[in-house]
Amino acid sequence: MTVTDIFIAIFSTLGSLAILFAAIGMVRMPDFYLRLSVTVKAGTLGVGFLLFCAAVIFPDISVTTKAIAIAFFLILTAPVAAHMIARTAYHIGVPMWKDTVIDEFETEDERGDGEE
């Protein structure tokens, strides 16, 4: 194994682990919002690591730009999606974990100037 290989092995492992954590979080987290919170980031991070490996292993600028593009697109879209689904979940009343400490959104809603 060359140095690059070891480098790649490490980063790909990190990436995979990040995704594994996201997956575990997905299963283990007690409510929807917490699951969402975990997954978006860890998933993106994991993919980011793997993309970094790809960029390193292929000596080609097109691959590198592609890897950047993927990461960029993920960073661009994932939070938007998360925001949309979270908002909807909240609107349709997906319950929060019993230990939730504060919900300022709800009070906002009650004030009546929430959306719609």
Partner 1 sequence: MKSPILQSASRYLLPILLLFSVFLLLRGHYYPGGGFVGGLVAAIAFVLHSFAFGTAESMKMLKYKPSAIIPVGLIVAAIAMFLPVLFGLPVMTGLWIEEPIPVVGMIGSALLFDIGVYLVVIGVVLTILFTISLETH
Partner 2 sequence: MTLNLYFDYVIFPLLSVSAILIFIRLFKGPDLVDRVISIDLIITTGIAVITAISIRSAQPVFLDVAVILALIAFLGTIAFSFYLDKQK
Partner 3 sequence: MIKHLLMNLLLSFIWVALTGSLYFMNFFFGFLLGFSVLWILNRSEEDHRYFTRVPQTIMFIFFFVYEMIVANLQVAYDVITPKYFFKPGIVRYPLQADTDVEISILSTIISLTPGTLILDISEDKKWLYIHVMYLGDKERFIQRIKNGFEKRLLAILR
Place of tokens 């879209």: 77
* Among 16, 84, 107, 114, contact with partner 1 (rule: CB under 8 A): 84
Out of partner 1, partner 3, partner 2, none, which partner does residue 110 contact, by CB within 5 to 8 A per kind? none
Q: Is 34 in the site for partner 3 (CB under 8 A)?
A: yes
Q: In this structure, what token pair is assigned to residue 66?
A: 């592609």
Q: What is the per-residue burial (b if ≥16 Cβ within 10 Å, else e) of 29-67? A: bebbbbbbebbbbbbbbbbbbbbbbbbeeeeeeeebeeb
Q: Which stretch binds partner 1 (CB under 8 A): 11-19, 33-41, 80-88, 104-112?
A: 80-88
Task: Look up residue 29 and give its DSSP letter.
Answer: -
Answer for the pair 30, 87: CB distance below 8 angstroms, yes or no: no
Residue 4 or residue 77: which is nearer to partner 1 going by CB?
Answer: 77
Q: Is 59 in the site for partner 3 (CB under 8 A)?
A: yes
Measured between alpha carbons, how far is residue 109 from residues 8, 38, 53, 87 in Å?
49, 26, 46, 12
Query: Contact positions toward partner 2, by CB under 8 A?
Result: 1, 5, 8-9, 12-13, 15-17, 19-20, 22-24, 26-27, 32, 35-36, 39-40, 43-44, 46-47, 50-51, 53-54, 57-58, 60, 62-63, 66-67, 69-71, 73-74, 77-78, 80-82, 84-85, 87-89, 91-92, 94
